[in-house]
Amino acid sequence: MELVTTFAAARHLASGVVGLVPTMGFLHEGHLALADAARPAADTVVMSLFVNPLQFGEGEDLASYPRDLARDAALATTAGVDVLFAPPLDEMYPDGTVTTVRVAGLTERMEGRERPGHFEGVATIVAKLFAGVKPDLAFFGRKDAQQLAVVTRMAADLSFPVECVGVPTVRDADGLALSSRNTYLDGDDRRRALALGAGLMTAADAAEQGERDGATLEGLVTAALTAAGVAADYVELVSRGSVARLDRLDRDAFLAVAARVGPARLIDNVHFDVGPGGEVSADRGVRLGSPSALAPGRAP
Ligand code: PAF
C-alpha cells in the first residue's frame, strides 16, 4: 500500500477501475466493510482519510475527533487498500474555501436541520474527492443514509461519472452501529445507546410483518428510546432517494434515528426495500460475532 498526501500522487497511482472509499479515519470494521466491497469491484482501491473541518459545526467535536494515522495505515494495508490518500489541510483547502456545494431539498430534514452547514461540508469535500481522484465507484456506509442520498444526488446533478454504492451498516456484537464516536461512550451510556438499534430492529420486524404506517413505525423506535431514558433528536421514515417524509411505507425508504447519549451524538437507521407487490424487506445491517476491537465504547 502507498501512503500519499497529494491529489496528483493519488491519481498517478490509480489505474483501471478506481474504487474510492472516503473516510475521516480512526478506522473500524464499518470502514473495512467499505474496502471489502470495493476490492472485488475495482482494480485500484483508494481510501481517503481526512477529518474535514467544513462539515463540523460550531461546538461540535472537530478538535476531539479521534485521529491515528499509523493505526489507520496498518488497518488499511490489511484491508487490501492500494492507495491511502491522507492529505494535509492545505492540500484540500489551499486558499480556504469560497466555493461550496449545496444540495437543496434533501438536506433540509433530519441531520441537515440538526447540523446546519453539515451537508454543505460533506458535499463539498466529496465533490473535491470525485474531481481530484476521478473514481469510477465510490463506497459509502448505509449508516449515514442521508449522506448517501446527498452525495448520490450531488454526483448526478454535477455529472460526475461515478457510481455511489451503499454498503450495509456494521453493528457491534451488542447491536450498536459502529461509529468512531462510540469511543466517547462509557459503560452506562453505551448500555443506553443500544436502544437506538433495538428500536429499529423492532420496527424492522413490524414492517416485515405488515406494518406500513409511518407514525407507528417511528413510534416503536421512540418507545425504545424513552424506555432507556434517551431523548431523540428525530425519528423519521423517509423516502430513500428524496429524503421526503413518508406517511406510509409504500416505496424504498429508510427509518432514521438520531439521539445524544452522554457526550456522543449517534445516528442509526434501517433500510427498507419495497417490492412490486408491496412486500417489505429490511436491511438491518451486519452484526459482528464478537465485540469490535476497533470501535469500542469505554469499558463498563
Ligand atoms: O462519512 C464520513 O466519514 C464523511 O462524512 C466523509 C464521507 C468521509 C466526508 O468527509
Cα–ligand 1 centroid distance for 85 (angstroms): 14
- pLDDT grade, residue 254 (50/70/90)? very high
* CA-closest candidate to residue 221, choices 190, 195, 254, 249: 195
The β-bridge partners of 270 are 255
Tell me the percentage of the chain whose pLDDT exceeds 90: 94
Specify the pLDDT at position 300: 47
Q: In what order do the strands lie in the sheet with 264-274?
A: 232-239, 253-261, 264-274, 280-283
Q: What is the pLDDT of residues 100-138, one digit of tens each?
A: 999 999 999 999 999 999 999 999 999 999 999 999 999
C-alpha–C-alpha distance, residues 240 and 251, integer Å: 8
Q: What is the mean pLDDT of residues 232-248?
A: 97
Residue whose CA lies nearest to ligand 1 atom number 7: 22
Residue whose CA lies nearest to ligand 1 atom number 3: 23
- Is 31 assigned a catalytic role? yes
Cα–ligand 1 centroid distance for 229 (angstroms): 29
Pocket of ligand 1 (CB under 6 A): 22-24, 52, 55, 122, 125-126, 144, 147
Catalytic one of 28, 31, 118, 271: 31
Q: Which fold has domain 180-287?
A: Pantoate--beta-alanine Ligase; Chain: A,domain 2 (3.30.1300)
**Domain boundaries defined on the chain:** 2-167, 180-287
- pLDDT grade, residue 280 (50/70/90)? very high
Q: What is the mean pLDDT of residues 4-15?
A: 98
For the chain, give the mean pLDDT: 96
Cα–ligand 1 centroid distance for 122 (angstroms): 6
Specify the pLDDT at position 298: 61
The secondary structure of 30-41 as a DSSP string is HHHHHHHHHHHH
Specify the CATH class of 2-167 in words.
alpha beta
Cβ count within 10 A of residue 41? 14
Pocket probe mutation, ligand 1, options 49, 55, 128, 182, max atoms within 8 Å of Cβ: 55
Q: Which atom of ligand 1 lies closest to the CA of 144? A: 1
pLDDT at 227 over 80: yes
pTM: 0.96
Cell numbers that stand for 98 in this block:
469560497
Pocket probe mutation, ligand 1, options 32, 52, 93, 118, max atoms within 8 Å of Cβ: 52
